[in-house]
Structure 1
C-alpha cells in the first residue's frame, strides 16, 4: 500500500501567488520546488502525493502543475483550478487533458472559501459546472469555511454523481469558539456518501506556535465519528503547514490520533480511491 499525501502545493513567488503578500505569510513567501517536496516525502515515509492548485486562480497554473507531476514520480495526480460557473468549463478541462501530463489530472478546485455569497454553491450555474466536472470523471475539492458546510451539504445531496473532497475538514474554528456549529455542519455533509474528507490544514487553524495534539483531537475524533475510517485521508497542506511546525510535526500528530487499524486507509487507501489514482 502506497503512503499518500492527498494535499500539498508547489509554487514560485514570481508566478502570481499574490496572496503570499500577506505579512504573516512571510515565512512561506519563497519558492517551493519538487526537490523540496521530495526531501519532505523521503523524511516522512510518504510515497506518492496529490498536487493541489495554490490559489493563483487562473487556468495557466494547470500547465505548470501538470508539468511538475509529469517530471516528479512521487506526484500521482493534480487538482487544478477552474471556475465551475464558467460556460467554457468543459473546454477548459479538455485543454488541461491535452497538456503534457494531462493524464494526471484527477480533480478541480476553486476558491469557494473566498466567496462572500453564502448561496454560492446553490447557484444553478455553479451546480451545472460541478456536474460537468463529475461527468469528466474528476473530483471536486471543497475548500470552504466552516459556515459554508451547510451549503456544501445541500450541493452534495443535489449532485450525488459528483465526487466531492472536503479540504481541511472545512476549516474548523480551533482558535475560537464554534465547535458545535462546525460539528453540525460536518455531520450534515458527511451524511452524503459521495463526500470524502482530508485530515489536513488543522495546525494552521490552531495557534501556529502553541497547538497541541490534545487541542486537535476533538476535531479529528468528530471526523472519524461522522465519516468513518473509509472516507478520511491524510493531507499535509505543505508548505503552508510549515507556518505551524512543519510536515514532520503534523504527520506525527496525526499518526498519534489515527487508530492502528485505520492507518492504511487514512494514509493511502482513501486518497487512491477518492482520486482514482490507480495505486491500491
Structure 2
C-alpha cells in the first residue's frame, strides 16, 4: 500500500487560519478529500494520513468525521491539549475512535525553546502510551535541545519528526540541522517524514538537486526503515504540484531496493501508525 503520510484538510477561515498569509493565496480556500482523491489516483497513492492544522478538539472531530466518509483517510493525527489537567480522561474518550493514531502540537509556533520539557506537557506525553498513541514533532531550530531531551525522557513513546525539522534549504543552511538530525536519529523510537521540503526552498526557483543533501543525510542517519514519504498537501501547492513533490522524493531513492522503496512509499508509515 502506498501512503501519503502527511497532508491536511480544512474549510478555510481567514481569521482562524491566519498562518496562511497573503503570499500563500494558492491555499486560501477549502481543501477536502474530494480535492485530494484524484491526485492520489493520478500518482498511484492508496491513502493518506490526515494531520491536524488547527489546534482544537473540533479539528480532531472534523478529521474523524471526514475519515468516516472517505476511505482514503487511513489514519488521523489530531490535536488535544496535552497540558490539560484532565488529559488522561480526554485521551480515554478519544481512544474510542480507532482512526485516531496520534497527536501533534504546533511547537514551531511556541517561542519557549523548552516548551516540550514543560512538566504539564511531559505529563501529556507520558499519558499517550496507554493507548499506543504516536506523537508528531513539529519544531524549529530553537527547539532542538528540548526535542532531544524530550525524546530521551520517553524511550517507549513512538515519535515521528515532521518535515525533516524544516531545514532552511533556501539559505542552504546545513551543519546545525545535520548535527541535530544525527543526534535525534540515535533514538530508535523516532521516525522521520520526508515531507514539507519545497516550502523550505525558494518557492519560485527551486531545483530538484537542492533537496538531495538533506534527504540523503536523513536516510543515512535514520536508515531506510524509519523514513516515510509525505507531501504536506495542500501547503506544498505554494511551491510545487503534488507530482513535483513526489518527484523530489523519488529522485533520492536510486540506491533503494524494491522492498526499501515499498517501505518508504507506505510500509514504514503503516508500521509506525499501526493501520
Alignment TM class, shorter chain as reference: over 0.9
The alignment partner of 1:204 has SS state of: helix
CA RMSD, Structure 1 to Structure 2 (Å): 1.4
Which residue of structure 1 lines up, in the alignment, with residue 274 of structure 2?
276
Contact 1:20 1:26 in 2 (8 A): no
Identify if the C-alpha distance between structure 1 residues 86 and 15 changes in structure 2 by more than 3 Å, giving closer, same or farther: farther
Separation (CA, whole Å) in 1 of partners of 2:49 and 2:203: 24
- Using the size of structure 2 for normalisation, the TM-score is 0.95
Which residue of structure 1 lines up, in the alignment, with residue 198 of structure 2?
203
Deviation, structure 1 residue 85 = 1.5
Deviation, structure 1 residue 243 = 0.8
Deviation, structure 1 residue 211 = 1.1
Which residue of structure 2 lines up, in the alignment, with residue 28 of structure 1?
27
- Using the size of structure 1 for normalisation, the TM-score is 0.93
Deviation, structure 1 residue 15 = 8.8
How do 1:49-88 residues align onto structure 2 when only pairs under 5 Å count? Answer: 49-54=48-53, 56-88=54-86
Deviation, structure 1 residue 260 = 3.4
Separation (CA, whole Å) in 1 of partners of 2:130 and 2:248: 37
Contact 2:20 2:27 in 1 (8 A): no
Contact 2:3 2:45 in 1 (8 A): yes
1:10-52 deviation digits (Å, cap 9, x = unpaired): 0001496422551112110000111101011011110011100
1:183 aligns with 2:181: no
1:164 aligns with 2:138: no
Which residue of structure 2 lines up, in the alignment, with residue 131 of structure 1?
126
The alignment partner of 1:149 has SS state of: helix
Contact 2:164 2:192 in 1 (8 A): yes
Q: Gaps (5+ residues) in structure 1?
A: none
Which residue of structure 1 lines up, in the alignment, with residue 208 of structure 2?
213
Identify if the C-alpha distance between structure 1 residues 247 and 17 changes in structure 2 by more than 3 Å, giving closer, same or farther: farther
Q: Gaps (5+ residues) in structure 2?
A: none
Kindly tell me the number of residue pairs found equivalent between the two proteins: 272
Separation (CA, whole Å) in 1 of partners of 2:129 and 2:166: 24
Which residue of structure 1 lines up, in the alignment, with residue 12 of structure 2?
13
Separation (CA, whole Å) in 1 of partners of 2:267 and 2:123: 30
Deviation, structure 1 residue 121 = 1.3
Separation (CA, whole Å) in 2 of partners of 1:177 and 1:75: 35
